[in-house]
Homo-oligomer: A and B are copies of this chain.
Amino acid sequence: MKVVRPEEISPSSVEMNGAKVDGATIRWLIKDSDGAKNFAMRYFELEKDAVIPIHTHPWEHEVFVLEGKVLITEGDESTEAGPNTAIFVRPDQPHSYKNIGEGRLKFLCLIPYKGG
């Protein structure tokens, strides 16, 4: 059994196409080196107005919003979501995340190790 709280892990910067995403951090809560061979649980924090810009990859996301307010886009769709909301982002769809709340945005984002 592994038990961990986000604050026990040092945040890493989020990188996209080799560039750091301003105001966004990631913590890997549960990952393959813990024995989790099928999927990983990551924890994201975005500062006010921070954006993870549009990107596409062949694996899905399973997101759960913990705190704050997010605007998620997937292809032509967009939705605003607050705490206690689950979001499934399909594989191979361009998608982005923006913190549109007044404070920090915190969400879980899980990904498969063998998807796509």
Q: Which residues in A have some Cβ–Cβ distance to B below 8 Å?
A: 1-6, 29-30, 34-39, 41, 43, 59-60, 62, 64, 66, 72, 74-75, 77, 79, 81, 84-91, 93, 95, 108, 110, 112, 114-115
Contact = CB atoms under 8 A, between A and B. Distances in A.
Contacts of A37: 60, 115
A34 B112 CA distance: 15
Interface on chain A toward B: helix, strand, loop, or mixed SS? strand
> How many of these chains are in the complex?
2
A93 B35 CA distance: 13
A60 to B, nearest CB: 6
A64 B5 contact: no
A87 B1 CA distance: 7
Contact of A87 (B2, B6, B39): B2
17 contacts: A1-B88, A1-B93, A3-B81, A3-B86, A4-B87, A5-B85, A6-B84, A29-B86, A30-B62, A35-B90, A38-B112, A39-B62, A41-B110, A62-B110, A64-B64, A66-B66, A110-B110
Nearest to A38: B112
